[in-house]
Amino acid sequence: MQKVRTRIAPSPTGDPHVGTAYIALFNRCFAKQNEGEFILRIEDTDQARSTAKSEQDIFAALRWLGVDWSEGPDVGGPFGPYRQSQRSSLYQEQIEVLLDSGHAFHCFCTAQRLTDLRNQQMADKTTPGYDGHCLHLSKEEIAQKLADEQEYVIRMQVPAEGECRFEDMLRGEIAINWQQIDMQVLMKSDGLPTYHFANVVDDHFMEISHVIRGEEWINSTPKHLLLYQYFGWQAPVFCHMPLLRNPDKSKLSKRKNPTSINYYRDMGYLPEAVVNYLGMMGWTMPDGRELFTIDEMTDNFDLMRVSLGGPVFDVEKLDWLNGKYIRERLSDTQFMQLFAQWAFDEQKMAQIIPLLKDRVERFSDVVPLAGFFLSGLPEISAESFVHKQLNEEQMRKILQFTLWQLENGTDLSRDAVEQECVRLAAYCGFKIRDFLFPLFVAITGKAVSTSVIDAISIIGIDVSRARIRAAIGILGGISKKETKTLEKDFRDFAQSAE
RNA sequence: GUCCCCUUCGUCUAGAGGCCUAGGACACCUGGUUUUCAUCCAGGCAACAGGGGUUCGAAACCCCUAGGGGACGCCA
């Protein structure tokens, strides 16, 4: 029997996501349970959005949770490199194979033509997709266009009719009509492969036996299967997991729920509790135990026990579980050490101390002044926001604009945050001191405190976001209508900056 | 809009045709322990989406409807 090899293939384009950890956890349990390997591959074919920092954060976050891998960009392995940006020559070679066999073709269509086409199809209420415009270009025409250095992509051929049937480990047979499948771009005009292409090529050469991934991929599985067929390769077994959900059942998103693993770390959750919680999303121990370690999960794992309804990520239950871990699984000494590690992180303290030194007369002043650095959400109410110049609506706007601006920028240094706040204040027509007031209350819990700009920079985007959002809620929340107005206004601001 | 997936308490789930007057956990409520609170303990509330079949028997199998979600990018 073929050796079981599974993988997690995150793209390093943002915060380490709990959904990534969730899928990684199940892949790892399945592989280990079958005495196979679990590998990590970085899918960084999106040049514009991939960052080294994000990649590092993903490594750190998964390691923090104890979801480790036996092959990957950082640890190496026999099937490397494990970063797609370093495998370009392989994709070039493989695309030639498809070009030669006629399963792929050059497409010189402009972005504008494709946009018009899509709009037209939408208006006609037909399935949007490529119309095959470049399909019938002759060899000479193609050679001429290439010689002229016209921009092009390479697309895959797709059967015009019939349907693709495949077996999903959990869902049984799934049938999708080929007419639903677009002539997917395989190689982008920047010469890099798209996910669909790189993923199939890599899974093959890395000898991945089981692809366990989110259910969002079901509809593109036919494309992948078709590629395996074109290449004459054995396709892996597919298994589509349910998606983690927001409380309103939509796909988990940071607008509605904290999704960054860093948030849970920064809020003082234990990694054992977080990973345990993820393990009970769609899965239960055979004996019904709710508290289990990742090793216990691995030992008792059975992929077939996964239930398919999309589980709502319920922070309240996670809180309970985390409390249980703290109470039952931590000795006093461990508690002391872990808490100290969490609270007195040296890098963090080095930033905080200078802010405090000028303002304290005794050490006993420190906690009242700086306690907000360690608390989750400050204890504030509507009264905390009473202000002479600003009403609630204005404060909601300030908070929301600041949040959007913080999320836009990648730079959360104190100077960058300050600059953004000054610009926003000017745009909104507020004095900076008035502008900062709601931020002081939201972030530090008080109108008077150490620099709120430094605080945001130190606390980080994840916890800052949670606090700002909580504050907006206390201020009455933002209605759908208000959101629209604000979004428009914010776009104007963003444009004015350019 | 088209296609695909899903559907047991508010939430996470048990349930592989009779063991189901549907079990556990979170949340919530009540009571007990505790100088307060929390913990802990005891109890309570609360669900098979609807309709048709199949079957001696259906939460489980099939079909239809409804609801939810996802996909439809030179993002992954």
Question: CA-to-C1' distance for A308 and B6, Å?
Answer: 7
**Nearest DNA or RNA nucleotide to A328 (CA to C1'):** B39
Q: Which of A218, A241, A264 is the last residue of a domain?
A: A241
Q: Verify that A278 and A213 share a domain, yes or no.
A: no
Q: Verify that A233 and A282 share a domain, yes or no.
A: no
Task: Return the pLDDT at A286.
Answer: 94
Question: Which CATH number does the domain housing residue A101 bear?
Answer: 3.40.50.620
Q: How confident is the model at residue A27 (pLDDT cuts 50, 70, 90)?
A: very high
Q: How confident is the model at residue A381 (pLDDT cuts 50, 70, 90)?
A: confident
Answer whether 0.90 is exceeded by the pTM: yes
Is A447 a member of any domain? yes
Active site residue A480: no
Residue A107, helix vs strand vs coil:
strand
Dihedrals phi, psi of A160, to nearest 5 degrees: -80, -30
> What residue is closest to B7 (Cα–C1')?
A309
CB A170 within 8 Å of CB A308: yes
Question: CA-to-C1' distance for A160 and B63, Å?
Answer: 30
How does strand A153-156 pair with strand A104-107? antiparallel
Q: Verify that A295 and A157 share a domain, yes or no.
A: no
Q: How confident is the model at residue A454 (pLDDT cuts 50, 70, 90)?
A: very high
Is A366 a member of any domain? no
Task: Return the pLDDT at A498.
Answer: 60
**Nearest DNA or RNA nucleotide to A177 (CA to C1'):** B3
Strands lying side by side in the sheet with A237-241: A172-177, A163-168, A237-241, A210-214
Question: CA-to-C1' distance for A423 and B43, Å?
Answer: 59
Question: Which CATH number does the domain housing residue A435 bear?
Answer: 1.10.10.350
Q: Verify that A79 and A109 share a domain, yes or no.
A: no
Number of domains, chain A: 3
Encoded tokens for A366: 């420190």
Beta bridge partners of A481: none
Q: Verify that A92 and A233 share a domain, yes or no.
A: yes
**Nearest DNA or RNA nucleotide to A121 (CA to C1'):** B1
Is A178 a member of any domain? yes
Residue A83, helix vs strand vs coil:
strand
**Nearest DNA or RNA nucleotide to A314 (CA to C1'):** B11
**Mean of the per-residue pLDDT values for chain A?**
92
Question: CA-to-C1' distance for A265 and B69, Å?
Answer: 29
Q: Which amino acid type is present at position A35?
A: E
Q: Residue A124: how many CB atoms within 10 A of its CB?
A: 9
Is A337 a member of any domain? no
Q: How confident is the model at residue A497 (pLDDT cuts 50, 70, 90)?
A: low
By residue range, what is the domain housing residue A485? 382-497
Is A307 a member of any domain? yes
Q: Verify that A430 and A448 share a domain, yes or no.
A: yes
DSSP A198-260: HHHHHHHHTT--EEEEEGGGGGGHHHHHHHHHHHTPPPPEEEEEPPPB-TTSSBP-TTTS--B
**Nearest DNA or RNA nucleotide to A283 (CA to C1'):** B13
Q: Verify that A92 and A230 share a domain, yes or no.
A: yes
**Nearest DNA or RNA nucleotide to A45 (CA to C1'):** B76
CB A49 within 8 Å of CB A81: no
Dihedrals phi, psi of A286, to nearest 5 degrees: -55, -35
Question: In the predicted model, what is the mean pLDDT of residues A254-281?
Answer: 96
Beta bridge partners of A72: A76
Task: Return the pLDDT at A1.
Answer: 60
Selected residue with higher pLDDT from A131 and A392: A392
Question: In the predicted model, what is the mean pLDDT of residues A242-261?
Answer: 94
* CA gap A27, A381 in Å, rounded: 44
Question: CA-to-C1' distance for A250 and B72, Å?
Answer: 18
CB A303 within 8 Å of CB A212: yes
Task: Return the pLDDT at A129.
Answer: 81
E strands in A84-208: 104-107, 153-156, 163-168, 172-177, 185-187
Residue A179 burial class via C-beta count within 10 angstroms: exposed 0-12, middle 13-18, buried 19 and up: middle
Instruction: Say which of A3, A32, A139, A254 is annotated catalytic.
Output: A254
Token look-up 């019938």 returns: A136
Q: Residue A348: how many CB atoms within 10 A of its CB?
A: 17
Q: Verify that A407 and A433 share a domain, yes or no.
A: yes
| pLDDT tens, residue by residue, A203-243 | 999 999 999 999 999 999 999 999 999 999 999 999 999 99
Question: CA-to-C1' distance for A310 and B5, Å?
Answer: 10
Q: Work out the angle between the directed axes of helices A52-65 and A18-33 (0-180°, nearest 10).
A: 50
Q: Do you find a cis peptide bond into A81, omega within 30 degrees of 0?
A: yes
Q: Which of A491, A438, A490, A430 is nearest to A468 (CA)?
A: A438
Question: In the predicted model, what is the mean pLDDT of residues A49-68?
Answer: 96
Question: In the predicted model, is pLDDT for residue A133 greater than 80?
Answer: no
DSSP state of A155: E
Q: Which of A308, A324, A340 is the last residue of a domain?
A: A324
Question: In the predicted model, is pLDDT for residue A269 greater than 80?
Answer: yes
Q: Verify that A105 and A196 share a domain, yes or no.
A: yes
Task: Return the pLDDT at A465.
Answer: 94
Beta bridge partners of A165: A175
A7 Cβ contact list (under 8 Å, min separation 6): A27, A38, A39, A40, A41, A203, A206, A208, A211
Q: Which of A87, A77, A88, A91 is nearest to A38 (CA)?
A: A77
Beta bridge partners of A167: A173
Question: CA-to-C1' distance for A250 and B4, Å?
Answer: 17
Is A330 a member of any domain? no
Give per-residue burial for A18-56: e unless 16+ CB within 10 Å, then b: bbbbbbbbbbbbbbbbbebbbbbbbbbbbeeebeeebbe
Q: Verify that A270 and A232 share a domain, yes or no.
A: no
Token look-up 């077994």 returns: A237
Residue A108, helix vs strand vs coil:
coil
Q: How confident is the model at residue A306 (pLDDT cuts 50, 70, 90)?
A: very high
Question: In the predicted model, is pLDDT for residue A448 greater than 80?
Answer: yes
Is A448 a member of any domain? yes
CB A414 within 8 Å of CB A454: yes
* CA gap A203, A282 in Å, rounded: 25
Q: Please, which positions of strand B sit below 7 A from a protein CB?
A: 1-8, 10-16, 23-27, 39-40, 68-76
Q: Verify that A185 and A155 share a domain, yes or no.
A: yes
Q: Which of A241, A262, A293 is the last residue of a domain?
A: A241
Q: Which of A13-17, A19-23, A384-388 is predicted least confidently?
A: A384-388
Q: Verify that A212 and A260 share a domain, yes or no.
A: no
Is A35 a member of any domain? yes
CA angle A64, A202, A139 (to 5 degrees): 145
> What residue is closest to B1 (Cα–C1')?
A125
Token look-up 């002043």 returns: A365
CB A175 within 8 Å of CB A266: no
Question: CA-to-C1' distance for A240 and B37, Å?
Answer: 46
* CA gap A12, A49 in Å, rounded: 8
Question: In the predicted model, what is the mean pLDDT of residues A259-287?
Answer: 96
Task: Return the pLDDT at A453.
Answer: 95
